[in-house]
Amino acid sequence: MLVGLTVVMAALFLVVIRHSDTARNQEINQKVYRNLAARLIDEHILEGETADPSAVRKVFDRIRVVNPRIDVYLLDAAGQVVAASGQDAIKHASVDLTPIRRFLKGDDELPIVGDDPSEPVRKRVFSVAPVALSGSESGYLYLVLRGVSRDTLAQQIKQSYVLRETLWLLGCGLAVALIASALILTLMTRPLRQLGAVMDKFRRSGFAEQPEPLRLPTDEVGKLTDTFNHMADRILAQMTALQKTDAMRRELVANISHDLRTPLASLQGYIETLHLKSDQLAPEEKRSYLEIALKQTEQLSGLVARLFDLAKLDSGQMTAALEPCALGDLVQDVMQEFELAASSKGIDLRCSIRPDLPLVMADVGLMERVLRNLVENALRYTRSGGTVSVMAAPVADGALVEVADTGIGIPEAELPRIFERFYRVEKCRDLAAGSAGLGLAISKRILDLHQSRISVTSAPGRTVFRFVLAYAPKRAAAGAVQEAADLRPAEAAPAKRAVPSLAYPMAER
Ligand SMILES: Nc1ncnc2c1ncn2[C@@H]1O[C@H](COP(=O)(O)OP(=O)(O)OP(=O)(O)O)[C@@H](O)[C@H]1O
Ligand SMILES: [Mg+2]
């Protein structure tokens, strides 16, 4: 393209040079001979009062010695050729007077070209002066200045040193411009080529390999590179996330299948035994088998309910209906549920709630679920004689809730993973032991809905789960207390919750 452009420019320059060279020649010619006609009239023609054709012949004879390229014509007032110096035949008997008038008016914009009676197509510069013709007619002495011969460009160049010099300089200029443009273009497109190569490599790697970092100047290409780098990072992150999600999905399906298959197989076994050997089984055995089967179905429905909860939490379908509630009542309520289980296992269940604890913002149903999961875990992993305690106390940004136990503890390496769904520290524990590995995952997501983060510290003999709940705004809290007082009938048992509404029907185990 650059070479093409240069060639076009060179051709244009040649046309311009040729045109301006001709025009300049004509201008000079006309300037030099501008007054020639008038002078000739004064000095040579008007020997009498008028000019006659023979006078023209005389003038021509005189000037052809000096300049043979001047033709002399005598025109009448209408521009008709009255006499010609002419060795050339007249091909055009009249001359257009418009340029002649312009000339005589003293127009400075030379060259002014007019008709050449001997060559009708060509226009030539001229010199003209009014002259009186015989018979009191006025006319013009019209000198056509032929000037330089009309050679081809090649001939012109060959003949003119100046033209050759000019063209040589022009060629050099164009060559320099061509080289400079090519150089600039190469420099400008180099970063683009680098970027293109990196992009291509990234594409060939299936968008999986981190592209080499490109450090380019802060111009447009730099910005483009920056954008590409960000885009590549984003693509890589998304690819990794996709792979992770895919792996999680596969793991999830495997876990669910395993957790459902085991109790289902056992359930089927007991029911088949009852069905086939009904006659041979003692009533005691039948009852025991039925009890086991019932327990299995309970556990199965519990698992399905937890999976359902988790799916709803994951998909964002479940929202927390936050409202002011008394944490003390809520904790007491949950503790009561586990009192029997704790005493039968020989575990001391303690509860320590600061009485001056302000109301917190929570979804009562969901928060009960969190506490239930944590206390259930604590009881499950604590041996007889141990202690499980729930504490709630005010801290700077809300109420701190701690569920602690003196149980077996969680190995430090496992701590980061226990909130993942289906994650169990001891892999052999299965649903039959009441452990699906979903409780903490559900609790974490519920606390996410409360803008709270659950944390854990653990060592053998002491495991503590903590989270902080934000206080209810003062005015909302006052309203809730009033509402709770209104709701509490005088003779009824003390209300367990400040606000009894449940936003979400919980799947009870
Ligand atoms: N208080 C605790 N002491 C020791 N280990 C614990 C405690 N709490 C949780 N863990 C460990 O973390 C794992 C995950 O707990 P999570 O509550 O999510 O599942 P789970 O109790 O096994 O089953 P689920 O709660 O679904 O019935 C448990 O399997 C257990 O290994
Ligand atoms: Mg649990």
Number of residues that make up the chain: 509
CB 90, CB 120: distance < 8 Å: no
CA–CA separation, 493 and 127 (whole Å): 131
Question: How does pLDDT run across 261-315, given as a tens digit for each residue?
Answer: 888 888 899 999 999 988 888 989 999 999 989 988 988 888 888 888 888 888 8
Provide the phi-psi class of 22: left if phi over 0, else alpha when psi is between -120 and 50, else beta. alpha
pTM tops 0.75, yes or no: no
From the list 89, 92, 156, the residue with the least C-alpha distance to 122 is: 92
Structure confidence at residue 151 (pLDDT) = 64
Taking the CA of 457 as reference, the closest ligand is 1
Domain encompassing residue 116: 33-150
Angle between the N-to-C axes of helices 2-32 and 161-204, in degrees from 0 to 180, rounded to the nearest 10? 160
Query: Residue 352 in 3-state DSSP?
Result: strand
CATH for 457: 3.30.565.10
Tell me, using a 6 A CB cutoff, whether residue 372 lines ligand 1: no
Highest mean pLDDT among 224-228, 262-266, 323-327: 323-327
What average pLDDT does range 476-491 have in this prediction?
57
Protein residues placing their CB within 5 Å of the ion ligand 2: 377, 439
Residues 404 and 298 both lie in one domain: no
Tell me, using a 6 A CB cutoff, whether residue 456 lines ligand 1: no
Residues 361 and 289 both lie in one domain: no
Q: Flag the least confident range among 23-37, 38-52, 405-419, 435-449.
A: 38-52
Residues 231 and 136 both lie in one domain: no
In the chain, % helix, strand, coil (3-state, to 5) comes to 55, 15, 30
Residue labelled with tokens 């312009």: 102
Say how many Å lie between the CA of residue 394 and the centre of ligand 1: 27
Residues 329 and 475 both lie in one domain: yes
Whether pLDDT at 484 is above 70: no
Structure confidence at residue 506 (pLDDT) = 35
Taking the CA of 438 as reference, the closest ligand is 1
What residues have CB less than 8 Å from 36, skipping those under 6 apart?
A: 63, 70, 127, 143
Tell me, using a 6 A CB cutoff, whether residue 191 lines ligand 1: no
For a mutational test of ligand 1's pocket, the pick from 383, 420, 440, 456, i.e. the residue with the most ligand atoms closer than 8 A to its C-beta, is 440
Domain boundary among 114, 132, 150: 150
Mean pLDDT (the chain) is 83
Domain boundary among 311, 334, 355: 311
Say how many Å lie between the CA of residue 423 and the centre of ligand 1: 8
Closest residue by CA, ligand 1 atom 27: 435
What average pLDDT does range 316-344 have in this prediction?
91
Which ligand 1 atom lies nearest to the CA of residue 438?
A: 26
Q: Flag the least confident range among 133-137, 333-337, 493-497.
A: 493-497
Residues 369 and 471 both lie in one domain: yes
**Residue 117 has what DSSP assignment?**
T
From the list 407, 332, 345, 406, the residue with the least C-alpha distance to 371 is: 332
Question: How does pLDDT run across 4-37, given as a tens digit for each residue?
Answer: 999 999 999 888 888 888 888 889 888 888 888 8
**Residue 77 has what DSSP assignment?**
T
Tell me, using a 6 A CB cutoff, whether residue 378 lines ligand 1: yes
Taking the CA of 309 as reference, the closest ligand is 1
Say how many Å lie between the CA of residue 360 and the centre of ligand 2: 24
Q: Which amino acid belongs to residue 320? A: A
Tell me, using a 6 A CB cutoff, whether residue 374 lines ligand 1: no
Question: How does pLDDT run across 393-430, given as a tens digit for each residue?
Answer: 999 889 999 999 999 999 999 999 999 888 888 765 45
Whether pLDDT at 505 is above 60: no
Tell me, using a 6 A CB cutoff, whether residue 302 lines ligand 1: no
Residue labelled with tokens 């992993």: 381
Angle between the N-to-C axes of helices 283-315 and 220-276, in degrees from 0 to 180, rounded to the nearest 10? 170
Structure confidence at residue 53 (pLDDT) = 67
Tell me, using a 6 A CB cutoff, whether residue 381 lines ligand 1: yes
Q: Which amino acid belongs to residue 297? A: T
Provide the phi-psi class of 409: left if phi over 0, else alpha when psi is between -120 and 50, else beta. left
CB 345, CB 384: distance < 8 Å: yes
Closest residue by CA, ligand 1 atom 4: 409
CA–CA separation, 371 and 469 (whole Å): 13
Show the tokens assigned to 264.
């289902």
Strands laid side by side in the 137-145 sheet: 81-84, 70-76, 137-145, 119-133, 113-116
CA–CA separation, 292 and 286 (whole Å): 10
Residues 358 and 427 both lie in one domain: yes
Cα distance from N-terminal residue to C-terminal residue, the chain = 79
Structure confidence at residue 314 (pLDDT) = 82
Q: Is residue 181 part of a domain?
A: no
Structure confidence at residue 495 (pLDDT) = 38
Q: Is residue 14 part of a domain?
A: no
Whether pLDDT at 238 is above 80: yes
Angle between the N-to-C axes of helices 364-380 and 327-345, in degrees from 0 to 180, rounded to the nearest 10? 30
Residue labelled with tokens 């892999």: 427
Structure confidence at residue 309 (pLDDT) = 87
Structure confidence at residue 480 (pLDDT) = 62
CATH for 86: 3.30.450
Residues 291 and 245 both lie in one domain: yes
Question: How does pLDDT run across 66-106, given as a tens digit for each residue?
Answer: 777 888 888 888 888 888 876 566 777 889 999 999 999 98
CA–CA separation, 87 and 66 (whole Å): 16
Structure confidence at residue 507 (pLDDT) = 35
Question: How does pLDDT run across 159-214, given as a tens digit for each residue?
Answer: 788 888 988 999 999 999 999 999 999 988 888 888 889 899 989 988 888 888 77
The pLDDT > 90 percentage for the chain reads: 38
Structure confidence at residue 486 (pLDDT) = 59
Whether pLDDT at 126 is above 50: yes
Structure confidence at residue 494 (pLDDT) = 39
CB 387, CB 405: distance < 8 Å: yes
Domain boundary among 150, 166, 195: 150
